[in-house]
């Protein structure tokens, strides 16, 4: 039996093109057979504003996992869920921790078997994972123009589908959306308006009614967090499909049972990895709902995990969101994940198919930190004040 011998956690701080520095933790699970599984605890910069004690966390995970067979998936999943139970919120840092370990375990299983993670999940049912490039909220008229230029740049690079964050300054949001259609017409698709739970359902509905003529495929999180009845009201009245993030199987089941959404946003970071995401995909299939793969904008390790899950999951039929490697100025792997024609490719090779670059890891490593104003002055941060 192969056994896990050590858990190594390396904190890294990586800047986005906006200047926002995001903290991640790279996971390495070592075994007595010499294989190392890679995982990622992604983007700790979301609220609430604290970071875990990584020394204590390493000791806890070491005591839980040392001597364990990495193929004992059910036992390890139960251990992780007992140690880091769901907090019932989207940006649950316990789920981020579980996701990093779960991802590393899937990578390790692939390396032990010589199979890719998507093969271990039953094989690819999609050739690649179509993605929508995010356009973050405008805070000024200058941001509107800058975002239009951004769309032009990404369109030239093969991205034709965009996800637009709204719900901050609604006047600027509408100004951008109308300028977007005027300038680019049908050359681009607006996958969604992402309200990020910033507005009550009534406010989201009014904005949808004002902008429905602009032609977007769906609306995301168009109610305050936890307002399932509000989501259902938007779904019934807006004449536009509704999606919402899920943070555990129970939340997915509630959204499905109350017919509050058309699409489940399945983010590995929010659920705790691939293993719990499979449960949510099963609920979606049983309920006749579509899925998309959500994101907190991971580096290439976390993005590779999203790609393998997405291409191997039949319920993932809506363009997804992971584009983190295009937003960050650096990465920790030898070859970052690839995008072709606006679609994310699942890296080939055993496991996740990505390889750690020790030099880059060393350059980016350092204690997780909070920069002053990180959640209030950058336009690409969910939970910030308008």
Residue-level pLDDT at 378: 42
**325 and 216 within one domain:** yes
Domain count, the chain: 2
Domain boundary at 114, 138, 172, which? 114
Contact 179, 144 (CB under 8 A): yes
Q: Catalytic residue, from 133, 165, 247, 328: name it.
A: 165
| pLDDT higher than threshold 70 for residue 374 | no
**177 and 108 within one domain:** no
Contact 238, 223 (CB under 8 A): no
**293 and 223 within one domain:** yes
**226 and 304 within one domain:** yes
384 domain-assigned: no
Instruction: Work out the angle at residue 163's Cα, subtended by the Cα atoms of residues 157 and 168, and round it to the nearest 5 degrees.
Output: 130
d(CA 220, CA 197): 8
**66 and 109 within one domain:** yes
| pLDDT higher than threshold 60 for residue 377 | no
| pLDDT higher than threshold 60 for residue 380 | no
d(CA 384, CA 382): 6
Tokens (6 digits) for 215: 């032609």
Give the residue among 339, 262, 341, 342 at the shortest CA–CA distance from 304: 339
Q: Catalytic residue, from 91, 247, 328, 339: name it.
A: 91
Q: For residue 345, what are the domain limits? A: 119-364
Tokens (6 digits) for 218: 């769906």
d(CA 13, CA 27): 14
d(CA 305, CA 350): 12
Task: Give the model confidence (pLDDT) of 232-275 as tens digits.
Answer: 999 999 999 999 999 999 999 999 999 999 999 999 999 999 99
**153 and 210 within one domain:** yes
**123 and 110 within one domain:** no
Residue-level pLDDT at 47: 76
31 domain-assigned: yes
Residue-level pLDDT at 88: 86
**148 and 65 within one domain:** no
- Mean pLDDT (the chain) is 94
**103 and 45 within one domain:** yes
CA distances from 207 to 178, 221, 362 (A): 13, 13, 46
What are the start-end ranges of the H helices in 84-218?
93-113, 117-120, 141-156, 170-184, 201-211
Contact 242, 194 (CB under 8 A): no
| pLDDT higher than threshold 80 for residue 325 | yes
376 domain-assigned: no
Half-sphere exposure of 360 (CA within 13 A, CB side): 15
The secondary structure element, H or E, covering residue 188 is none
CATH number at residue 52: 3.30.390.10
Domain boundary at 114, 138, 164, which? 114
Domain boundary at 97, 114, 131, which? 114
Contact 234, 204 (CB under 8 A): yes
pTM of structure: 0.94
**205 and 317 within one domain:** yes
| pLDDT higher than threshold 70 for residue 379 | no
| pLDDT higher than threshold 50 for residue 385 | no
Contact 274, 246 (CB under 8 A): no
**326 and 281 within one domain:** yes
133 is annotated as an active-site residue: no
Furthest C-alpha separation in the chain:
62
Least confident of 19-28, 83-92, 204-213, 355-364: 83-92
Residue-level pLDDT at 91: 85
| Mean pLDDT calculated for residue range 2-28 | 95
Residue-level pLDDT at 372: 57
13 domain-assigned: yes
Task: Give the model confidence (pLDDT) of 65-85 as tens digits.
Answer: 999 999 999 999 999 999 999
| Mean pLDDT calculated for residue range 216-245 | 97
**133 and 94 within one domain:** no
How many secondary structure helices (H) and strands (E) does the chain include?
14, 13
CATH number at residue 238: 3.20.20.120
Residue-level pLDDT at 84: 95
Confidence of residue 120 (pLDDT cuts 50, 70, 90): very high
Contact 292, 263 (CB under 8 A): yes
């Amino acid at each position: 039996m192969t056994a896990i011998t050590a858990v190594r956690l390396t904190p890294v701080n990586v800047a986005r093109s906006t200047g926002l520095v995001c903290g991640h933790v790279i996971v390495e699970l070592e075994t007595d057979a010499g294989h190392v599984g890679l995982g990622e605890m992604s983007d700790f910069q979301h609220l609430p504003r604290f970071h875990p004690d990584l020394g204590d966390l390493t000791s806890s995970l070491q005591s839980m996992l040392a001597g364990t067979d990495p193929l004992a998936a059910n036992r390890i999943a139960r251990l992780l869920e007992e140690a880091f139970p769901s907090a019932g919120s989207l940006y649950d840092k316990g789920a981020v921790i579980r996701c990093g370990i779960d991802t590393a375990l899937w990578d390790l299983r692939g390396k032990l078997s010589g199979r890719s993670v998507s093969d271990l999940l039953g094989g690819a049912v999609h050739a690649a994972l179509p993605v929508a490039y995010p356009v973050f909220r405008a805070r000024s008229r200058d941001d509107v123009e800058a975002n239009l230029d951004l769309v032009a740049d990404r369109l030239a690079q093969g991205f034709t589908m965009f996800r637009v964050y709204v719900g901050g300054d609604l006047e600027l949001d509408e100004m951008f959306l109308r300028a977007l259609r005027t300038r680019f017409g049908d050359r681009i698709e607006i996958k969604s308006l992402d309200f990020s739970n910033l507005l009550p359902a009534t406010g989201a509905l009014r904005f949808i009614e004002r902008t429905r003529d602009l032609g977007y495929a769906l609306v995301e999180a168009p109610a305050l967090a936890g307002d399932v009845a509000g989501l259902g009201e938007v779904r019934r009245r807006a004449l536009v499909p509704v999606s919402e993030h899920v943070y555990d199987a129970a939340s997915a089941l509630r959204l499905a049972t109350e017919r509050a959404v058309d699409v489940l946003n399945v983010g590995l970071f929010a659920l705790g990895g691939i293993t719990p995401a499979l449960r949510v995909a099963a609920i979606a299939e049983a309920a006749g709902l579509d899925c998309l793969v959500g994101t907190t904008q991971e580096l290439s390790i976390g993005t590779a995990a999203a790609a393998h899950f997405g291409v191997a999951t039949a319920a993932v039929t809506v363009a997804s969101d992971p584009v983190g490697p295009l937003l960050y100025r650096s990465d920790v792997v030898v070859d970052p994940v690839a995008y072709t024609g606006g679609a994310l490719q699942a890296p080939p090779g055993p496991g996740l198919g990505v390889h750690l670059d020790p030099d880059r890891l060393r350059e980016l490593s350092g204690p997780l930190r909070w920069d002053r104003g990180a959640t209030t002055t950058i336009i690409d941060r969910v939970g910030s004040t308008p």
